[in-house]
A and B are shown apart, each in its own frame.
Chain A
Amino acid sequence: QSVLTQPPSVSGAPGQRVTISCTGNSSNIGANFVVHWYQQVPGTAPKLLIYINNNRPSGVPDRFSGSQSGTSASLAITGLQAEDEAYYYCQSYGSRLSGSVFGGGTKLTVL
Chain B
Amino acid sequence: EVQLVESGGASVQPGGSLRLSCAASGFKFDDCAMHWVRQAPGKGLEWVSSINWNSGTIGYADSVKGRFTISRDNAKNSLYLQMNSLRAEDAALYYCAKSPRSGWWAVPIDYWGHGTLVTVSS
**Chain A min CB distance to B101 (Å):** 11
- Distance of A23 from chain B, by nearest CB (Å): 15
Whether B59 contacts A38 by the Cβ 8 Å rule is no
Q: Majority SS of interface residues in chain B?
A: loop
Once A45-B95, A45-B115, A96-B105 are accepted as A-B contacts, the answer to whether A102 and B47 lie under 8 Å apart by CB is yes
Q: Answer yes or no: A2 CB below 8 A from chain B CBs.
A: yes
Structural contact, B47 and A100, CB atoms closer than 8 A: yes
Q: Decide if B1 is an interface residue (CB 8 Å cutoff).
A: no
Least CB separation from A96: chain B residue: B105
For chain B, the bracket of interface size reads: 20 to 34
Shortest distance between the CB of A107 and any CB in chain B (Å): 10
Residue of B nearest to A99 (CB): B59
Q: Please indicate the chain A residues that have their CB under 8 angstroms from the CB of B45 in the complex.
A: 38, 40, 46, 89, 91, 102, 105
Q: Contact at A105–B44, with CB atoms within 8 Å? A: yes
A64 in the interface (beta carbon within 8 A): no
Q: Give 20 pairs: A residue, B residue, CB < 8 Å, sorted on A.
A: A2-B44, A38-B109, A40-B45, A45-B95, A45-B113, A48-B109, A52-B108, A91-B45, A91-B109, A96-B57, A96-B105, A99-B47, A99-B61, A100-B47, A100-B50, A100-B59, A101-B47, A102-B45, A102-B47, A104-B44
